[in-house]
Amino acid sequence: MIDEIRIMQTFHLVDAEGNSYTYQNYYTDRINFAPFQVEGSVSTLGGDNSQIQVLFPATEYAIKLVEKADGNRKSQLTLTTHLINSNEQTPNNFISQEIYIGLGASFSENTIELRFNTAADAVASNFPARRFNQDNVGILPLDAALSLR
């Protein structure tokens, strides 16, 4: 008996004018199929501000997608990863959902690359940044002799 794992990604793009485009890269009857591939880290443990590339074949609909999104510089992408069950159905829950902001696009003879960056960066240990003031260090000296011990 062979157990298959079927994973589908849903590409939901909102362009600069507010038009919405949704594609999936695994064929089910749910939404439009488009052959695309996502490269880069979709998410990291540290939540770093990561960049991904979505690769499309150089077809007419992919070229229009880039043109409508002003070279993919004013778009917002929601990338959702689903598991497909043995009945070719997509359960309502999903594995992950990430939101990205468009950075740009590049073309070659047979590939269109859309570049995206995560919408929010990770919060560091020094967030929020603190400043020296009388409340957190006491009375501040009037000269530049400040000892940080």
Question: What confidence tens digit (pLDDT) does each residue in 32-81 have?
Answer: 888 898 888 655 666 566 788 999 998 887 888 788 777 888 789 999 88
Instruction: Confirm if 48 and 42 have CB atoms less than 8 A apart.
Output: no
Hey, where are the domains in the chain?
6-122
104: left (phi over 0), alpha (psi -120 to 50) or beta: left
Q: What CATH number does domain 6-122 carry, 2.60.40, 2.40.10, 3.40.50, 2.40.30?
A: 2.40.10
Give the residue carrying structure tokens 């468009």.
Answer: 102
For β-strands 6-14 and 20-24, DSSP reports them as antiparallel
pLDDT of residue 75: 87
Other Cβ atoms less than 10 A from the Cβ of 25: the count is 17
pLDDT of residue 78: 92
Question: What confidence tens digit (pLDDT) does each residue in 89-117 have?
Answer: 666 778 888 888 888 888 888 899 989 88
Prediction pTM value: 0.68
pLDDT band at 1 (very low <50, low <70, confident <90, very high): very low
Question: What confidence tens digit (pLDDT) does each residue in 25-35 have?
Answer: 887 767 888 88
Q: What does the DSSP 8-state code read for residue 10?
A: E
Find the DSSP H helices in the chain.
60-68, 134-137
| Distance (Å) of CA 105 to CA 8, 38, 110, 114, 135 | 23, 14, 14, 4, 49
pLDDT of residue 27: 77
Instruction: Confirm if 118 and 49 have CB atoms less than 8 A apart.
Output: yes
pLDDT band at 130 (very low <50, low <70, confident <90, very high): low
pLDDT of residue 12: 92
